[in-house]
């Protein structure tokens, strides 16, 4: 083939370099092959896979041997590469590779939530400078089209809250605890047996994965820069079977939520387990499914639901981005991005307004409720509902019988109105110092997420 014919070929196809060929990568290769004709029709030019960088030069069933290379750095700077698809994960060496690719004018499609959450701004700046595209739909909520709707469809609206179930492992565990009454350890073991939890589940159960996604969502939704370090993070290790039962008694269910809010020009982003009303659309999202609830000033309440992980599912999102980047190559355009970012202050968790559910083991004698209520009042926290339960778990009806005669044991279940998180935490600390309080049986945040929570609190 003469050089000019090769150039013509190159101009006529969009050439793709793939970094990483694991569960998702091999699905991307499969779909590129199986759907070659359809993709070419949608793009206006064929997509050609010109190289696949892998760590070890072993044979790969789905990839022709001559495409495999261990030289990722060489691949991302090759002249004939138009788009780099990155499915390696982690911060280094991927950050350097992608910055190099973008600086060389290659568009980048990535599923790397950790990198985007830590250093998305540097990648976006590099893309802006060279005029290349940077897409990362697959980094949050797998197959669910979410970042494109936030970035483009809602570009004319003001998003005020994004709240989602964005980690399938923890949702599987919490769903299993709710349906079977299992405790956390049992449910985690089941998740591991069924392939929903990794051997080291830390990234999932301690909320690191969800925190990265929260940072990406907050950055896009509020047109500002939020990194994973800005996200308050609590995992699900401490969620007990008693917490799940307490939620059920309140008409709620427990979910690990990533919540991003914008109030008065300030943003907050947090990941923690919370009780949500069973009537909320997010409450019925169970097992390994993901869903994200968005509230915008004009659009109102929206929800996006689907599978948040899995090889083919994530590959679907990657290919959507790849088609977009390739179309832009063909028509000489560029993907939309914000021309300017606000630098909105990220408020600390202590200043974020939340609601608490607190279960207290107390001595059941006259004056206890007055004492407990006094501690809440001292900290400026308003109580929404109080319910008394017998020590054996039977539930009392109506308000606490504060005039009961003997010093028996009882449980006080209190749900607060919203207050700064620091005030709520300080209240719980102070309660443990009361001699009538034998212990705090459970503390969980309560989130209405734009829905009334009138059913909370049982009898009151």
Binding site for a copy of itself (CB under 8 A): 27, 31, 35, 38-39, 41-44, 137, 143-145, 148-149, 152-158, 223, 281, 284, 296-307, 310, 312-313, 315-324, 327-328, 330-334, 336, 338-340, 342
| DSSP structure string for 275-332 | EEETTSGGGG--TTEEEEEEEETTTEEEEEEEE---HHHHHHHHHHHHHHHHHHHHHT
Q: How far is the CB of 191 from a copy of itself (least distance, A)?
A: 19
Q: How far is the CB of 450 from a copy of itself (least distance, A)?
A: 12
Give 17 or 324: the residue with its C-beta nearer to a copy of itself.
324
**Whether residue 213 lies in the annotated active site:** yes
Q: Take residue 95 and report the two structure tokens written for it.
A: 């950050």
Least distance from C-beta 266 to a copy of itself, angstroms?
16
If the CB atoms of residues 38 and 71 are measured against a copy of itself, the closer one turns out to be 38
Is residue 268 classed as helix, strand or coil in its secondary structure?
strand
- C-alpha distances out from residue 313 to 31, 99, 137, 307, Å: 11, 27, 12, 7
Task: Choose between 156 and 433: whose C-beta lies nearer to a copy of itself.
Answer: 156
Cβ nearer to a copy of itself, comparing 27 with 411: 27
Collapsing DSSP states into helix, strand and coil, what is residue 432?
helix
DSSP letter string, 62-116: TS-GGGEES-HHHHHT-TT--EEEE---SSTTHHHHHHHHHHTT-EEEE--HHHH
Q: Give the C-alpha separation, 200 to 265, whole Å.
A: 39
Decide whether 100 or 279 has the Cβ nearer to a copy of itself.
279
Catalytic residue among 213, 248, 255, 408: 213
Residue 5, exposed/middle/buried by CB under 10 A (0-12, 13-18, 19+)? exposed
CB of 40 to a copy of itself, least distance (A): 9
Q: Are 434 and 371 in contact (CB under 8 A)?
A: yes
Q: How far is the CB of 327 from a copy of itself (least distance, A)?
A: 5
Catalytic residues: 213
């Amino acid at each position: 083939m003469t050089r000019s014919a090769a150039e013509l070929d190159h101009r006529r196809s969009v050439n793709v370099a793939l970094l990483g060929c694991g569960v998702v990568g091999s699905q991307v290769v499969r779909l590129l092959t199986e759907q070659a004709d359809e993709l070419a029709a949608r793009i206006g030019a064929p997509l050609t896979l010109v190289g696949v960088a892998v760590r070890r030069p072993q044979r790969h069933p789905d990839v022709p041997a001559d495409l495999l290379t261990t030289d990722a750095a060489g691949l991302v700077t090759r002249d004939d590469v138009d788009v780099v698809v990155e499915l390696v994960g982690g911060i280094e060496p991927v950050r350097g590779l992608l910055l190099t690719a973008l600086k060389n004018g290659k568009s980048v499609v990535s599923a790397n939530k950790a990198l985007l959450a830590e250093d998305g701004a540097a990648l976006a700046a590099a893309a802006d400078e060279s005029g290349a595209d940077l897409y990362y739909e697959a980094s949050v909520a797998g197959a669910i089209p979410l970042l494109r709707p936030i970035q483009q469809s809602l570009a004319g609206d003001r998003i005020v809250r994004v709240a989602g179930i964005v980690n399938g492992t923890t949702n599987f565990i919490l769903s299993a605890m709710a349906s079977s009454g299992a405790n956390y350890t049992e449910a985690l073991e089941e998740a591991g047996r069924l392939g929903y939890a990794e051997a080291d589940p830390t990234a999932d159960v301690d909320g690191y994965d969800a925190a990265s996604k929260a940072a990406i969502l907050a950055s896009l939704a509020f047109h500002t820069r939020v990194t994973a370090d800005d996200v308050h993070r609590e995992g699900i290790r401490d969620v007990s079977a008693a917490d799940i039962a307490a939620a059920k008694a309140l008409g709620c269910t427990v979910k690990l939520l990533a919540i991003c809010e914008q109030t008065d020009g300030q943003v907050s982003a947090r990941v923690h387990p919370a009780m949500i009303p069973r009537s909320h659309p997010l409450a019925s999202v169970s097992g390994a499914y993901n869903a994200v609830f968005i509230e915008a000033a004009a659009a109102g309440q929206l929800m996006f639901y689907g599978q948040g992980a899995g090889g083919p599912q994530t590959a679907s999102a990657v290919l959507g981005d790849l088609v977009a980047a390739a179309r832009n190559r063909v028509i000489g355009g560029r993907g939309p991005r914000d021309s300017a970012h606000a630098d909105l202050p990220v408020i600390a968790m202590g200043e974020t307004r939340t609601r608490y559910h607190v279960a207290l083991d107390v001595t059941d004698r006259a004056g206890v409720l007055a004492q407990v209520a006094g501690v809440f009042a001292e900290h400026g926290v308003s109580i929404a509902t109080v319910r008394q339960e017998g020590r054996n778990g039977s539930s009392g009806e109506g308000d606490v019988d504060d005039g009961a005669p003997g010093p028996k044991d009882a449980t006080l279940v209190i749900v607060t109105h919203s207050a700064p998180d620091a005030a709520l935490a300080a209240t719980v600390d102070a309660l443990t110092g009361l001699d009538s309080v034998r212990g705090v049986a459970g503390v969980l945040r309560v989130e209405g997420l734009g829905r009334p929570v009138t059913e909370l609190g049982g009898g009151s």
